[in-house]
Amino acid sequence: MKSMFSGCSSLINIDLSNINTNNVTDMSYMFDGCSSLIDINLSNFDTNNVTDMCCMFYRCHSLIELNLSNFKTNNVIDICCMFYRCSSLTNIDLSNFNTNNVTNMIGMFNGCSNLSKKNVITKDKKILNQFN
């Protein structure tokens, strides 16, 4: 699924809740440049086998809220710049993120000027440290 919707700058909303992602390993750059994307439903995404989420929401300027509470990230090793330049993002739920195997999370929230540590739902201290 790498770069699957990359550059879809006119895409406003998308419901991917019925897509089978059981065997997907690479979701990097999946929504890169989807600058008009406001609403995205990833509620049934199976991310158990994913290892790369680098730049997944890169330059999604219009996203305000993102619920990724169903994401299982036990096998993910790269989440660098995952939300880079999501400048409208104010709330994000990463409550089930597990970064124990992550080796690269540089710039995870770079350019997220409206997002603060208090609006990130997570138990993962490595994620919260991205705000220090």
Query: Domains (ranges, CATH) in the chain?
Result: 1-132 (3.80.10.10)
Per DSSP, the three-state class of 26 is: strand
State the pTM of this model: 0.94
| 131 pLDDT above the threshold of 90 | no
Is 132's pLDDT higher than 90? no
- From CA 118, how far away is CA 81, in angstroms rounded? 19
pLDDT in tens, 31-75: 999 999 999 999 999 999 999 999 999 999 999 999 999 999 999
Write out the E strands in the chain. 13-15, 39-41, 65-67, 91-93, 120-121
Single-letter amino acid code for the residue at 37: L
Distance CA 16, CA 109 (A): 23
pLDDT, tens digit, 9 for 90 and up, residues 72-119: 999 999 999 999 999 999 999 999 999 999 999 999 999 999 999 999
CA 132 to chain centre: 19
| 129 against 49, higher pLDDT | 49
62 touches 39 (CB < 8 A)? no
Residue 46, pLDDT score = 95
